[in-house]
Structure 1
Amino acid sequence: MSKQKQNFYDLYTKVIGQGEIDLLPLYAAEPCIEHSVGVHDGLEGFKNFFIPFFEVFPKRNIQVTRILEDGNFVFAHAYQVLNDGAAEWMTMDIVYTNADEKIIEHWDTIAPSFTGKNKAGHTAFDGATELADFAKTADNKMLISNLYEQVYTIEKWQLIADFYAAEFIDHSEYGFLTSQELIDYYESSTTNYTLEKVYKIIGEGNFVAVFTKVMIANKEVANIELYRIQDGKIVEYWRNMEYVVEEKLWLNSGKFATITTEF
């Protein structure tokens, strides 16, 4: 595991999971910009959020299920079980690292995870974890970029079959089994869903993560989706969506801003 991946993993498991807040400077550095809107910027802002969090949730079981990197960006998919199941959260995080591979900026989506299995028999977290096909990273990122440009942006739902395998593994609450089921869902959906912007695509080998803003019933939503690709088709899918609270409640520059880098 690279140093920047290890730093992110250790921040999650040691600092947050085990509550070793004094280790934070080993893994993150100023300006430590936050886009999780309830957290102030800076190392002190991080500490001021998590020290009370540790008191409310003294029992924390955090599993980082997938982690990938693309340049100075690192993506992680994590499952948090707090206080023996009193709360269960899915988080999908993106961080940007400095020349020392320490975290200096962070974006995320945090939402309660559906419990149990969907109709396809999958949880929100199970499935493949092994990175492969590193030589195909650029091709796989382009596939996903084209999916958003050619399908989701202009709602050409029939073209989904050009990107998804006929049968794929879906870890969303819907548990779709086939690309045709997915097409039928979008074509019949009455949900007022609009893709507003693709902010960042992060890929490593056979996994590609995408950070977008969508509008659902006129409400702003931060959305991160994760795809596994095999032989030029999507064969597995995870997602996490977080409704963005009103701006007056933000303690930082917001979900979609960039400070130390550009998307």
Structure 2
Amino acid sequence: MTTAKQNAISLYLDGIQNGNPRAAVAAYTGDRYTQHSTGVSDGADGFIAFFEPFINRNPVRDFQVVRTLQEGRHVFVQVYQNLNHGQAEWLTTDFFASDENGKIIEHWDVIAPIKPVNPSGRSQFDGPTEVTDLDKTAQNKALVVDFINVCLIGRDMDRFRDFISSDSYVEHNADRGDGIESAYAFFAADDTPLTYQECFLAVAEGNFVATLNRASWAGQDLCQVDVFRVEDGLIVEHWDNSEDVPPKSEWANSGKF
């Protein structure tokens, strides 16, 4: 495992799950730690000030790192969190930037409560986790970014089937089932509530591509994460997570992006 990926995971598991925020932020972050989780201030002090009370409020913490990707200095981590024996369950999707030594220097996230399984019986995080096809990383990333730009931002729905498999498309969104027709019906509708404005960041490794997007739901600004699995040049599986962007007056830092 690469240093940056390990540092991102360790910041989670050692710093939060194991209750060592001071030691973790000292060990795994670099000369700066720019924060985009809007309730947390920048820097080591901001991390400590947020997570020490969090740890006290939640003495039982069970985190499962489900998927991790690294491309260059960027890392993506998808984590299931169970707090206080199920009193709260969260899906967190995090992007990190690292310095030349693999230390974490910037963080973006989307955090939302776990939802029930979708019409196809799939959860928001189950399914394949193994990274394969490392030689196709750039090709797969280009496919996914093009899909977002052409279909979700540009609204050219005639191209939808150029990117998504018509034979096998597995869906983990809590409200939609498997199959391309369900996804197409949702996104192609003139009154679809979910619209995309920018693919802000994409991190790819082999057959997986994770994207952080500016979006909106019925006019409410969203920070939207979409994770795709690609096979034979087409998208065959999708996970997502979204969080409202709060008013600027509530930000403790420069904002979600």
TM-score range, shorter chain: over 0.9
- TM-score, length basis structure 2: 0.95
For residues 195 and 21 of structure 1, the distance between their equivalents in structure 2, rounded to whole angstroms, comes to 35
**2:149 and 2:199 in contact (8 A); partners too:** no
Matched, 1:192 2:193: yes
Which residue is equivalent to 2:230? 229
Number of aligned residue pairs: 255
For residues 67 and 123 of structure 2, the distance between their equivalents in structure 1, rounded to whole angstroms, comes to 14
Matched, 1:121 2:100: no
Matched, 1:37 2:38: yes
Report which stretch shifted further, 237-246 or 145-154: 145-154
Which residue is equivalent to 1:62? 63
Residue by residue over 1:70-126, the C-alpha shift from the partner in whole angstroms, topping out at 9 and shown as x without a partner, is: 1100000111111111111111100001122110110011111103x2111211111
Which residue is equivalent to 1:207? 208
Which residue is equivalent to 2:219? 218
Superposition map of 1:96-245 within 5 A:
96-115=97-116, 117-166=117-166, 167-188=168-189, 190-245=191-246
How many Å apart are 1:204 and its aligned residue?
A: 0.7
Matched, 1:7 2:16: no
- TM-score, length basis structure 1: 0.93
For residues 10 and 159 of structure 1, the distance between their equivalents in structure 2, rounded to whole angstroms, comes to 41
Give, as a single letter, the amino acid of the residue that structure 2 aligns with 1:141: K
How many Å apart are 1:191 and its aligned residue?
A: 3.6
Q: Secondary structure at the match of 1:229?
A: strand
Instruction: Specify whether residues 193 and 185 from structure 1 end up closer, same or farther in structure 2 by C-alpha distance, changes over 3 A only.
Output: closer
Q: CA RMSD in A?
A: 1.3
**1:206 and 1:228 in contact (8 A); partners too:** yes
Give, as a single letter, the amino acid of the residue that structure 1 aligns with 2:23: L
How many Å apart are 1:183 and its aligned residue?
A: 1.1
Residue by residue over 1:166-189, the C-alpha shift from the partner in whole angstroms, topping out at 9 and shown as x without a partner, is: 221111102421112211223346
**2:186 and 2:192 in contact (8 A); partners too:** no
**1:10 and 1:27 in contact (8 A); partners too:** yes
How many Å apart are 1:215 and its aligned residue?
A: 1.7
**1:158 and 1:183 in contact (8 A); partners too:** no
How many Å apart are 1:255 and its aligned residue?
A: 0.5
For residues 162 and 240 of structure 2, the distance between their equivalents in structure 1, rounded to whole angstroms, comes to 20
Runs of 4+ in 1 over 2 A off after TM superposition: 156-159, 185-194
Q: Secondary structure at the match of 2:137?
A: helix
For residues 139 and 36 of structure 1, the distance between their equivalents in structure 2, rounded to whole angstroms, comes to 30
For residues 216 and 176 of structure 2, the distance between their equivalents in structure 1, rounded to whole angstroms, comes to 22
For residues 112 and 3 of structure 2, the distance between their equivalents in structure 1, rounded to whole angstroms, comes to 28
For residues 191 and 113 of structure 2, the distance between their equivalents in structure 1, rounded to whole angstroms, comes to 24
For residues 74 and 23 of structure 1, the distance between their equivalents in structure 2, rounded to whole angstroms, comes to 21
Residue by residue over 1:16-38, the C-alpha shift from the partner in whole angstroms, topping out at 9 and shown as x without a partner, is: 11112232211112311100000
Q: Secondary structure at the match of 2:169?
A: strand
Q: Secondary structure at the match of 2:85?
A: helix
Which residue is equivalent to 1:259? none
Give, as a single letter, the amino acid of the residue that structure 2 aligns with 1:36: S
Residue by residue over 1:115-162, the C-alpha shift from the partner in whole angstroms, topping out at 9 and shown as x without a partner, is: 3x2111211111000001011011101101110122111222242221
**2:176 and 2:183 in contact (8 A); partners too:** no
For residues 109 and 61 of structure 1, the distance between their equivalents in structure 2, rounded to whole angstroms, comes to 18
Unaligned runs of 5+ in 1: 257-263
How many Å apart are 1:217 and its aligned residue?
A: 1.7
Instruction: Specify whether residues 70 and 208 from structure 1 end up closer, same or farther in structure 2 by C-alpha distance, changes over 3 A only.
Output: same
Percent identical among aligned pairs is 36
Give, as a single letter, the amino acid of the residue that structure 2 aligns with 1:148: I
Q: Secondary structure at the match of 1:55?
A: helix
Instruction: Specify whether residues 189 and 113 from structure 1 end up closer, same or farther in structure 2 by C-alpha distance, changes over 3 A only.
Output: farther
